[in-house]
């Protein structure tokens, strides 16, 4: 039975999800409702036809997983409610076409940020949410919601001050990488990843890639002392096999779904649409202005370009790309290769830098061979180097400051210690990297494919890795 002021959301992944009053206040805001119009995986639905779920459903699901963690770890209010709110708001900063906005528009706004949506999230939480909550609801309702949601500890004589305090605490958690609460949200087994793998695999029709036992990760999680007086998130040595299963599930989702060659063709086209429309549609300015940002979503941008555009250069190109997507006339693969860079190559270039260099070399060689043999200009080629997929549990856990709790010795240990002591060898593959070359259509692909095969038979281009 739902408590006073709460509602039950029915979810295909987790069943009934309880939502508390202050969370409902936030969910009712336009800045949150826009997540209904941001697909979780914008390109995947063109290959896996039922993958039309959104960031809205995922945010509700992540909130539910955070509640499961809080109950198992005996986290009580107000900290429990802060954790739930962090999960609810963790994707609030995503832009049009999700991660494609990060590498285009957000790259202009936050050039130093790896994930611009995380930076924008902080701006929304700290600056915008307090303002619009107070403008949307009367103070008495907000005060009541805060009390009923377990946040009464933060109430002062000023509701404005109370809400700003709560939002600052949420932002602090989401910025505290390596800390326990951060890892419960964004860690390798945090509620974000746990929900999106389950949800994306379900809606993509690949449920077998979401087969890891979520309940065991929750049940065998604990908060321990690291021996230096610091709290650390641990997972029991009893679930070592489950950890491997989750990493394999994640790997298969990236390899077969997110990085599917046709999905990535769509991603390239969506990136180009954003680049073509960025200046004529003032996307940078409209993103910085949060009142304008809440009007931007996947649907609105398509509509704006299709029906409101003027017949000008860049916007006309964006219009052509959308028209091609709607006809499912997508870019075609010419070269599709996986590569495992050596440690020397990673040290000098980084994995992604090395892959881009290799792809540029392949592109140049293909262009040169085609123009030499055909005596004509080479068709357009586009490079795609999806980001690195980490496969080694040690890489994942060390980066996140998460330990394995040895159930025999009753102490936290690093993953590699457990691995050595038990002769428990995991995956040898440290990362998985793909690079591809695309061209505009089947016609261009047919022109290029024989030359591409010839290029790929050659010895790999030599790239200097000396430091």
Q: Is the same domain home to 12 and 110?
A: yes
Give the per-residue pLDDT at 339: 80
Domain boundary among 212, 242, 259: 259
Which residues fall within 8 angstroms of residue 424, CB to CB, at 6 or more apart? 240, 418
pLDDT tens digit sequence for 210-267: 999 999 999 999 999 988 889 999 999 999 989 989 988 998 999 899 999 999 999 9
Q: Is the same domain home to 49 and 198?
A: yes
Which residues fall within 8 angstroms of residue 446, CB to CB, at 6 or more apart? none
pLDDT band at 353 (very low <50, low <70, confident <90, very high): confident
Q: Is the same domain home to 232 and 341?
A: no
Domain count for the chain, please give it: 2
Q: Is residue 314, in this structure, part of any structural domain at all? A: no
Give the per-residue pLDDT at 174: 98
pLDDT at 327 over 90: yes
Q: Is residue 192, in this structure, part of any structural domain at all? A: yes
Q: Is residue 423, in this structure, part of any structural domain at all? A: no
Q: Is the same domain home to 363 and 254?
A: no
Q: What is the percent of the chain where pLDDT is above 70?
A: 93
Q: Is the same domain home to 67 and 167?
A: yes
Q: Is residue 396, in this structure, part of any structural domain at all? A: no
Q: 126 is in which domain, residue-wise?
A: 7-259
Give the per-residue pLDDT at 1: 38
Rounded to an integer, the average pLDDT of 317-337 is 95
pLDDT at 33 over 60: yes
Q: Is residue 335, in this structure, part of any structural domain at all? A: yes
Q: Is the same domain home to 56 and 194?
A: yes
Q: Is the same domain home to 250 and 387?
A: no
d(CA 386, CA 255): 10
d(CA 273, CA 317): 8
Three-state SS at 256: helix
pLDDT band at 345 (very low <50, low <70, confident <90, very high): confident
Give the per-residue pLDDT at 100: 96
Q: Is the same domain home to 44 and 158?
A: yes
Top pLDDT among 1 and 318 is at 318
Q: Is the same domain home to 358 and 250?
A: no
Q: Is residue 123, in this structure, part of any structural domain at all? A: yes
Give the per-residue pLDDT at 465: 39
Q: Is the same domain home to 240 and 138?
A: yes
Q: Is the same domain home to 240 and 381?
A: no
Closest CA to 162 of 181, 182, 146: 146
Give the per-residue pLDDT at 350: 81
pLDDT at 105 over 90: yes
Rounded to an integer, the average pLDDT of 311-318 is 85
Rounded to the nearest 10 degrees, how much is the dihedral formed by the CA atoms of 132, 138, 143, 145? -70
Q: Is residue 407, in this structure, part of any structural domain at all? A: no
Radius of gyration of the chain (CA): 24
Q: Is residue 303, in this structure, part of any structural domain at all? A: no
pLDDT at 84 over 50: yes
- Domain containing residue 48: CATH number: 1.10.3210.10
Three-state SS at 436: strand
Contacts 24+ apart (CB under 8 A), 308-314: 309/280, 310/280, 312/280, 314/276, 314/277, 314/279, 314/280
Domain boundary among 203, 238, 259: 259
User: Cβ(388)–Cβ(259) under 8 Å?
Assistant: no
pLDDT tens digit sequence for 151-200: 999 999 999 999 999 999 999 999 999 999 999 999 999 999 999 999 99
Q: Indicate the helix (H) or strand (E) that contains 397.
A: helix 393-400
Q: Which of the residue ranges 235-249, 269-283, 452-466 would you say has the lowest mean pLDDT?
A: 452-466
Which residues fall within 8 angstroms of residue 181, CB to CB, at 6 or more apart? 79, 82, 83, 86, 173
Domain boundary among 233, 259, 285: 259
Q: Is the same domain home to 341 and 243?
A: no
């Amino acid at each position: 039975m739902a408590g006073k002021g709460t509602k039950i959301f029915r979810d295909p992944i987790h069943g009934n999800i309880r939502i508390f009053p202050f969370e409902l206040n936030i969910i009712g805001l336009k800045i949150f409702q826009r997540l209904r119009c941001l697909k979780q995986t914008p390109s995947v639905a063109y290959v896996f036809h039922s993958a039309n779920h959104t960031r809205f459903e995922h945010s509700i699901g992540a909130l539910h997983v955070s509640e499961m963690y809080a109950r198992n770890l005996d986290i009580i209010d107000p900290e429990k409610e802060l954790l739930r709110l962090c999960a609810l708001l963790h994707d609030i900063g995503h832009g049009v076409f999700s991660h494609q906005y990060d590498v285009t528009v957000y790259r202009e706004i936050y050039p130093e940020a790896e994930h611009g949506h995380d930076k924008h999230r902080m701006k929304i939480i700290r600056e915008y949410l307090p303002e619009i909550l107070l403008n949307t609801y009367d103070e008495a309702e907000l005060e009541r919601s805060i009390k009923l949601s377990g946040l009464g500890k933060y109430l002062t004589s000023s509701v404005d001050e109370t809400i700003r305090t709560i939002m600052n605490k949420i932002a602090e958690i989401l910025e505290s990488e390596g800390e326990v609460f951060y890892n419960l949200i964004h860690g390798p087994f945090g509620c974000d990843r746990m929900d999106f793998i389950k949800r994306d695999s379900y809606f993509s029709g690949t449920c077998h890639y979401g087969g890891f036992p979520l309940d065991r990760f929750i049940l065998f999680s604990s908060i321990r002392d690291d021996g230096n007086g610091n709290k650390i998130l641990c997972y029991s040595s009893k679930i070592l096999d489950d950890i491997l299963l989750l990493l394999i599930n994640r790997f298969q989702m990236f390899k077969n779904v997110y990085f599917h060659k046709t999905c990535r063709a769509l991603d390239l086209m969506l990136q180009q649409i954003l680049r073509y429309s960025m200046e004529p549609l003032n996307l940078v300015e409209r993103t910085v202005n949060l009142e304008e940002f809440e009007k931007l979503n996947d649907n609105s941008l398509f509509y704006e370009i299709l029906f409101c555009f003027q017949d000008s250069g860049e916007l006309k190109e964006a219009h052509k790309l959308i028209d091609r997507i709607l006809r499912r006339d997508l870019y075609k693969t010419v070269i599709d290769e996986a590569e495992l860079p050596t440690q020397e190559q990673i040290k000098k270039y980084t994995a992604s830098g090395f892959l881009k260099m290799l792809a540029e070399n392949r592109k140049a060689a293909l262009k040169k061979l085609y123009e030499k043999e055909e005596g004509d200009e080479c068709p357009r080629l586009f490079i795609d180097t999806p980001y690195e997929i980490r496969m080694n549990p040690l890489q994942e856990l060390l980066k996140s400051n998460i330990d394995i709790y040895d159930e025999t010795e009753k102490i936290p240990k690093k993953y590699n210690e457990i691995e050595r002591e038990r002769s428990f060898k995991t995956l040898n593959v440290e990362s998985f990297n793909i690079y591809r070359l695309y061209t505009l259509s089947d016609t261009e692909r047919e022109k290029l494919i024989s030359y591409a095969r010839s290029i790929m038979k050659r010895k790999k281009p030599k790239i200097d890795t000396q430091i």
